[in-house]
Amino acid sequence: MTNFFSRVARAAVLLSVIFPVIQTQMAWGHSEQTEASQVEIAARRDYLSLRVVGTGIDLRDAVAREEGHGGHSSNESVASVSLQKQAAHYIESHVFFEQDEQVLPVKAGSVRFWKLNSSDPNSEHFEVFARAERPAKLAKTPLSVSSTLFGNLDKAATIVYLGGDSRVVRGMKVVEFPLASTLPTFSGDLTNFAWSGALHPLSGIDHLLFLATLFLAASVLPLRRLIVALAGFTLAHGVAFSLALGGWVSFSASLGAIGAIISIVAVAALAWWQARQEESGTSFAAGAPLLVGLATVGGLLHGLSGAAPVLAWGLPETSLVVCVVAWTMGVAATQIAMGVIIWPLLSHLHRKFAHNAQYGGMSWSRALQIASLACIAVGGWWFAQSDGVGTSGVTPSGISNKQ
């Protein structure tokens, strides 16, 4: 009996040693960096704009290993408020810049999480925008960069990009860029903003889907109604974009994206209702003004949503108004080009379905109902997944939001 109790006591002692180790491993998840983190730098005269990208599992485990932290499971829900704050603080305290023996303090801004595969928690990635202020006199001096990102994980590495140059940082290694070239303050900004505005309607599924539903809803109306709706959308988009960049309107990027999704569903529902009315032979007099109203509201929501990545990258200080106008003109140019291509195609399909309907085929009204319901389904599914909603697009600095 004595031997039995002795064995039980030894087993209890062994478990008391092993169990905390198992708990620690479960909390930390893994000890090796899964993917090299990236730091993209856009240099302006008196500050550096930063974009830091990496995997969520690396961030969670690195934060959990920080001294004094209680630990987090790698399978926690995405983008909690506390984790966003921890991510911002982690970036501020683990990325270092120095010019002419002067340390540049880093201040994190927006934080975003998303999953490459919604069913795989390990596919989670994070994106942090930050800014490092510097005196203008340092703009032409060499820039030294060091990083301890994920330094408490094995095989940690960070790739630093500046312009067309890149360096790999490991451990406490310091890399130097001979000249931190600054972006132009006027002509370059003007070109970049116009180009990013032109690419904006094509860079996010939210914008493309909204324009698709807008064209569908206008397909049973005269062309002038589409022109008025697009004008209202573009004007509201530019106004909201300007207010957000100027700091007159504060907003949550995720809420702006959810609002954009709701606007997509609303316009698709209007297209479906108009198609039903046309199929039954009745007119819907409120359809045209309602379409213009929804397009205008949608422009406001999409403008707020689209301003997030631009705002996070930092803005030119001497030519902001002109650059915003250039960006809006770029958006308008792309939407006009899409209208020139899509409207004749819709008109041709309208005539073709009308001809087929005479011989018992599907009518345009029925086809429009099916397409509208498909857009509503996509918007509904997207809204259900909206915990990871974020904005995408092309930054005016010319650096795309690659993932």
Q: Is residue 15 part of a domain?
A: no
Read off the pLDDT of residues 261-293 as tens digits, 9 standing for 90 and up: 888 889 889 888 888 887 777 766 667 788 888
Q: Is residue 75 part of a domain?
A: yes
Backbone φ, ψ for residue 333 (5° rounding): -60, -45
| Mean pLDDT in residue range 329-344 | 88
- CA dihedral of residues 146, 151, 157, 159 (deg, nearest 10): -40
For the segment 1-5, the average pLDDT, to the nearest whole number, is 51
Q: DSSP labels for 94-163? A: HEEEEETTEEE-EEEEEEEEEESSTT-GGGEEEEEEEEEE--GGGTTS-EEEEE-TTTTSBT--EEEEET
Q: So what's the pLDDT on residue 97?
A: 92
Residue identified by tokens 């429009």 is: 368
Residue 44: inside a domain: yes
* Number of domains observed in the structure of the chain: 2
Question: Do 319 and 346 reside in the same domain of the chain?
Answer: yes
Please check whether residues 290 and 265 belong to one and the same domain.
Answer: yes
The C-alpha atoms of residue 303 and residue 338 are separated, in whole angstroms, by 19
Between residues 117 and 41, the one the model is more confident about: 41
Question: With pLDDT > 70 as the criterion, what percentage of the chain qualifies?
Answer: 74
* Same domain flag for 52 and 164: yes
pLDDT at 77 over 70: no
Same domain, 254 and 168: no
Summary count for the chain: helices (H), strands (E): 10, 10
Residues 166 and 205 in one domain: no
In a domain, residue 212? The reply is yes
Closest CA to 135 of 41, 50, 48, 51: 48
Query: Which phi-psi region, left, alpha or beta, contains residue 69 (left: φ > 0; alpha: ψ -120 to 50)?
Result: beta
Nearest 10 degrees: Cα torsion 56, 62, 66, 69: 40
Inform me whether the pLDDT recorded for 241 exceeds 50.
yes
In a domain, 25, yes or no: no
Residue 102 has pLDDT above 80, yes or no: yes
pLDDT band at 392 (very low <50, low <70, confident <90, very high): very low
**Alpha-helical runs (H) found in 151-246:** 187-203, 205-218, 223-245
Q: What is the mean pLDDT of residues 143-162?
A: 86
126 and 95 inside one domain: yes
Predicted TM-score (pTM) of the model is 0.53
Give the Cβ contact number of residue 26 at 10 Å.
Answer: 12
Please check whether residue 396 lies inside any domain of the structure. Answer: no
Could you list the residue range(s) of the whole structural domain that residue 322 is in? 187-388
Higher pLDDT, 28 or 92: 92
Residue 319 pLDDT level (bands cut at 50, 70, 90): low
